[in-house]
C-alpha cells in the first residue's frame, strides 16, 4: 500500500535541507577516503570503508531508537520482505557506488547516481501502472541525453572508466525500483525499525564482501579516512538514510525532488573545490539535463483554482 503524502511542514523542510547538504557533500568525502590523490595518496579499501562506517553508525542508530522508544522487533513472516527492501534500497547501491567511485570523479558519480528518479518514473510506468505524460517522457529523453554525454566522454578518454559509469546507472536503476517497493510495503512496523534492520543487513553483506575480497588490503585508517568514516557513520547512516525514508513517505514528490536535484550539484562543485577535480563541458551539460529531467518527471503543475 503506497502511503499518502502530506504537505511539507517546517520540520520536514528542515530535514530536507539538512539531507541535501549531508548527501551532497558526502561525495567528495567518500572520494577522498577511497581514491588515491595528491591530498590523500593512501586510499582505503572501498568496501571496508563502507562496512566500517556502518559498523559505527548502525549501533548509534540502534541506541537512538532505543532512547526514542522505537521497537526493533519484526515478526519472522516479514523478514523476507525486509531482505528484499534492503537489497534494492541499500545493499546493491552501497556496494556499487563505493567501488565505482574509485574510478570516477565525485561530481560525475553523483550525477549518474542521482538519475534515480528517472528510473523510478520508468519503473512506475511499466511495472506499477503509473501514468507517464508528455512532460515525463521529455524528462526521460533529457536524462538519457545526459547519461549518454557522460558515457561517451568516459569511452572517449584514455583515462575514462565506462564500466564504472555503467555500474552507477545500474545502481540508480535498482534504487529506483526499491523506492517503489518501500512506498508500497505493508510491513506493520515503524519506518525507523525498517531503516535499522535494512542498514544492519547491509552491514552484514558489505562486511562479508570486504572479508572475502579485501582482507589483504586492510590497515589502520589515516586521520583523513577516520574523519570520513565519522562523517559517514553519523551523517549518512544515522541521519541521512532515516531522513530519506522519512521524506519519501511524508512529503510530496515536489518537495523530495528538490533534494534529489540539488545533491549532484553540490557533489559536482564541492568535488571541484575541495579535491581539484576537473570539470568538463559534458559535466555541466549533463547536470543541467538531469535537473531538467527530474523536474519534468517529478514536479506536478499546480491545478487551476476554480472561480
User: What does the pLDDT look like over 44-96, one tens digit per residue?
Assistant: 999 999 999 999 999 999 999 999 999 999 999 999 999 999 999 999 999 99
Residue at 286 is within a domain: yes
Residue at 250 is within a domain: yes
Check: CB of residue 117 under 8 Å from CB of residue 260.
yes
Q: Is the pLDDT at 3 greater than 60, yes or no?
A: no
Confidence (pLDDT) at 6: 47
Confidence (pLDDT) at 4: 46
Residue at 305 is within a domain: no
Residue at 1 is within a domain: no
Nearest to 110 by CA among 231, 283, 252: 283
Residue at 306 is within a domain: no
Please indicate whether residue 139 or residue 22 has the higher confidence score (pLDDT): 22
Confidence (pLDDT) at 48: 97
Owning domain of residue 287: 11-298
Compute the distance between CA of residue 59 and CA of residue 200 in angstroms, rounded to an integer. Answer: 9
Residue at 304 is within a domain: no
pTM of the entire structure?
A: 0.86
Check: CB of residue 113 under 8 Å from CB of residue 172.
yes
Q: Helix, strand, or coil here: 306? A: coil
Q: Is the pLDDT at 8 greater than 80, yes or no?
A: no
Residue at 48 is within a domain: yes
DSSP annotation string for 46-100: HHHHHHHHHHHHHHHHHHHHHHHT------GGGHHHHHHHHIIIIIHHHHHHHHH
Residue at 38 is within a domain: yes
Q: Is the pLDDT at 98 greater than 50, yes or no?
A: yes
What's the gap between Cα 231 and its chain centre?
15
Question: What's the number of domains the chain is made of?
Answer: 1
Amino acid at each position: 500500500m503506497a502511503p499518502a503524502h502530506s504537505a511539507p511542514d517546517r520540520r520536514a523542510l528542515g530535514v530536507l535541507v539538512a539531507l541535501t547538504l549531508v548527501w551532497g557533500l558526502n561525495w567528495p568525502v567518500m572520494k577522498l577516503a577511497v581514491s588515491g590523490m595528491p591530498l590523500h595518496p593512501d586510499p582505503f579499501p572501498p568496501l571496508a570503508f563502507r562496512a566500517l562506517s556502518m559498523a559505527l553508525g548502525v549501533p548509534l542508530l540502534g541506541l537512538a531508537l532505543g532512547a526514542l522508544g522505537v521497537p526493533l522487533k519484526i515478526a519472522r513472516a516479514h523478514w523476507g520482505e525486509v531482505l528484499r527492501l534492503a537489497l534494492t534500497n541499500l545493499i546493491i547501491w552501497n556496494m556499487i557506488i563505493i567501488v565505482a567511485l574509485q574510478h570516477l570523479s565525485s561530481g560525475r558519480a553523483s550525477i549518474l547516481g542521482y538519475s534515480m528518479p528517472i528510473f523510478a518514473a520508468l519503473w512506475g510506468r511499466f511495472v506499477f501502472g503509473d501514468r507517464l505524460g508528455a512532460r515525463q517522457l521529455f524528462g526521460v529523453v533529457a536524462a538519457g541525453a545526459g547519461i549518454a554525454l557522460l558515457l561517451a566522454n568516459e569511452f572517449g578518454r584514455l583515462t575514462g572508466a565506462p564500466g564504472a559509469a555503467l555500474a552507477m546507472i545500474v545502481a540508480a536503476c535498482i534504487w529506483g525500483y526499491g523506492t517503489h517497493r518501500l512506498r508500497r510495503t505493508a510491513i506493520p512496523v515503524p519506518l525507523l525499525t525498517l531503516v535499522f534492520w535494512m542498514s544492519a543487513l547491509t552491514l552484514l553483506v558489505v562486511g562479508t564482501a570486504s572479508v572475502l575480497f579485501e582482507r589483504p588490503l586492510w590497515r589502520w585508517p589515516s586521520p583523513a579516512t577516520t574523519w570520513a568514516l565519522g562523517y559517514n557513520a553519523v551523517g549518512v547512516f544515522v541521519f541521512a538514510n532515516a531522513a530519506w525514508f522519512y521524506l519519501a513517505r511524508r512529503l510530496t514528490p515536489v518537495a523530495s525532488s528538490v533534494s534529489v536535484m540539488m545533491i549532484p550539484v553540490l557533489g559536482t562543485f564541492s568535488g571541484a573545490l575541495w579535491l581539484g577535480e576537473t570539470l568538463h563541458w559534458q559535466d555541466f551539460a549533463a547536470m543541467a539535463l538531469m535537473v531538467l529531467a527530474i523536474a519534468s518527471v517529478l514536479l506536478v503543475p499546480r491545478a487551476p483554482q476554480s472561480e
